[in-house]
Amino acid sequence: MESAKKKLSIETGIKVETINNRPLFKFTDRLQLHLETLLEKNKVNDLTAEEQDELNAINELDRLFTYLNSLLLAQK
């Protein structure tokens, strides 16, 4: 059953910002705050299995953004 807390979706969790005339993928402030909350809970081993999966997925998305942004910035 879905928790009362609304889950963040990809559509509401990512944004594209233009920096130095280059589009870059970033997390929305809301997703960034959620990530920080999950990281804090992880430090004290207080994540549920669902939260651990969510943290893993967000971390994977972060790695993907880092890679894509590096490719975008390297373009001339």
List, as one string, the DSSP characters of 16-52.
EEEETTEEEEEE-HHHHHHHHHHHHHHHTT---HHHH
Mean pLDDT, rounded, for 26-51? 96
pTM of structure: 0.80
pLDDT at 1: 35
**Token pair in block for residue 69:** 């942004």
Total structural domains within the chain? 1
**Hey, what amino acid is at 53?**
D
Q: Does residue 2 form part of some domain? A: no
Residue 54 burial (10 A CB sphere; 0-12, 13-18, 19+): middle
pLDDT at 4: 34
pLDDT at 12: 79
**Residue 32 structural domain:** 11-74
Q: Does residue 6 form part of some domain? A: no
Q: Does residue 5 form part of some domain? A: no
